[in-house]
Amino acid sequence: MKPLIYKTKQMENKLILKRYKVPEDLLMDILRILFGNNIKHQIIGIQERQNIVLLNVNFDLNSIKSREAKENMEGILTDYSEYMKGLLGDTVLMLDEEDDENEF
Amino acid sequence: MESTCLHCGEHFTAIRSSKKYCSDNCKQMAYFKRNGLVLSGTTELEPSLKMPVVSVKPVTTDEVNVKYDKEKDTVKYANEELNVKYDKDERSEFEFVPLADAEEEEEETEIAESNNVREIEKDTQKVEPIKSSLNIEKEQQEENEPRYKWINSKLISLIEKKYEQNSGGVKIKASFDYWEYEDAKRIVWVNTRFRCLAEGLIKLSNYSRIDQHTLLCITDAFKRLVTSTTFNRLPNDYPFKELIIELFLGLNKTLEEKRHLKMLAFKLTKERKAQLICIRHQLMLHTSEIKFTEIDFVEEKPHQEKAQQFISNKNETEKKSDWRYRFEALKKQGLLKSQQQNKAT
């Protein structure tokens, strides 16, 4: 009988939940990323006045595709924030889970 | 019963039929050999431990099949089925993975294989399979997943395109280096106000609805800018002159068409929005910020006029002071005269 080899299997939970505020200008691009890569997401609120959508997105960091999609999304939101500096007011596009969603 | 040791080949008397080795030592050495381990202090196998190549299967030995069932997680030893014992927590971290497939394992449990001489150089190769199996798994996972297609935002691509096309950036950065002093002053005046109005337009386009009064205010502000003397005295190579006029005309037209509505949707085309964001981003770096509520269109006077005004103001003050002095003097005289007259009467 050949010797058995131990193989480590990382069972740490690499599923993360990220929350984003997506303005109307970027909504189609973001949805294209989410639908195109079958990434689980949920629209949890809409701010009608400023046309902003609050999204919860589940990323599986074990998947390369999911990681790339996260990078793609955050890149777009970061670039937009940079160009719109001072125009978005206090609105932050990438939120932590603890942030309040009262305005929604 | 007579039996032959599978390790050293010596004949020995075994009590049970399944006994394979003559001693515990041989049993241990066989285990080391199977797993490619070497006793410390030894560099190669001792000649006595080297197994002769046996081409014929010994008749007396019993073949024992050991098979690992991954699905059931059991080991089949001879006719017994044994459960693999380990803690559940540990099980979550480690997974026993047999190297080969089940079919190959049946062949490899033959005794002939265990009689082959293994060299020490092969020991180093034992470490690599662990890493390579991990790498192979990762590669397979990558191969199975289709390649990710990067998506660029249309709006941001447009903004970057406008940045490349827009030559205004160079002139805006150093207005006083590029233009004459008076022209540069006018440009700075116009840029400050245009930045404020562009920001206003961008913000309004993000709202779902705006009221007519807001539209009226911003249109009026554009009108004041466009009709100001400073704007009309701008140099011909000022990059945003046509754009400002276009925006004013567009706003005016919208206001006339939507005059009957109290609330209306104000939207810019993606191209127009990208252009405004690009220009505003450039102006932001080199122009001071004014709030829309604080914006004014008090025109910047040229230097000569300012100097003349200063002089005339100074003369006037001097005159005033002179006149007062004279007035007081006359008054005194008048008073004196009147007093004199009074005295006379």
Express as a percent the part of chain A with pLDDT over 90: 52
Domain spans in chain A, listed from the N-terminal domain onward: 15-95
Res. A102: pLDDT tops 80: no
Specify the pLDDT at position B222: 94
* Strand partners for A21: A54
Contact between B93 and A11 using a beta-carbon 8 Å cutoff: yes
From CA B74, how far away is CA B81, in angstroms rounded? 6
Task: Tell me the nearest-neighbour CA distance from B99 into chain A, angstroms.
Answer: 7
Specify the pLDDT at position B90: 44
Q: What pTM, to 2 d.p., does this model score?
A: 0.56
Q: A-chain residues within 8 Å CB-CB of B94?
A: 6-9
Q: Does A98 touch chain B (CB under 8 A)?
A: no
Task: Tell me the nearest-neighbour CA distance from A63 into chain B, angstroms.
Answer: 9
Q: Contact at 8 Å (CB) between B105 and B98?
A: yes
Q: B-chain residues within 8 Å CB-CB of A6?
A: 94, 96, 130
pLDDT digits over A9-26, tens only?
A: 444 567 889 999 999 999
Domain spans in chain B, listed from the N-terminal domain onward: 156-300, 301-345
Task: Tell me the nearest-neighbour CA distance from A45 into chain B, angstroms.
Answer: 16
Task: At B144, list the tokens.
Answer: 């199975």
pLDDT digits over A45-73, tens only?
A: 998 888 899 999 999 888 888 999 999 99
Helix (H) or strand (E) holding B178: helix B175-178
CATH architecture of A15-95: 2-Layer Sandwich (3.30)
From CA A62, how far away is CA B203, in angstroms rounded? 39
pLDDT in tens, chain B (345 residues): 788 898 888 888 887 888 888 898 999 888 888 877 766 655 444 444 445 555 555 555 555 666 777 667 777 766 666 666 554 444 444 444 444 444 444 444 444 444 444 544 444 444 455 555 555 555 555 556 567 888 999 999 999 998 888 656 666 667 777 778 888 888 999 999 999 999 999 999 998 888 899 999 999 999 999 999 999 998 888 889 999 999 999 999 999 988 888 898 888 999 999 999 999 998 888 888 888 888 888 776 655 555 566 556 655 555 555 666 666 666 666 655 555 555 555
Q: Which of B154, B156, B266 to mutate to test the interface with A (most CBs of A within 10 A)?
A: B156
From CA B243, how far away is CA A42, in angstroms rounded? 41
Q: B-chain residues within 8 Å CB-CB of A32?
A: 151
**Residue B273 backbone zone (phi > 0: left; psi -120 to 50: alpha; other: beta):** alpha
Helix (H) or strand (E) holding B253: helix B241-257
Q: How far apart, in Å, are the Cα atoms of B166 and each of B170, B178, B276, B285?
A: 9, 16, 11, 15
Contact between A80 and B153 using a beta-carbon 8 Å cutoff: yes
Contact between B155 and A87 using a beta-carbon 8 Å cutoff: no
Q: Does A65 touch chain B (CB under 8 A)?
A: yes
From CA B84, how far away is CA B71, in angstroms rounded? 12
Q: Tokens 């190297």 appear where? A: B99
Question: Between A92 and A29, where is the model more confident?
Answer: A29
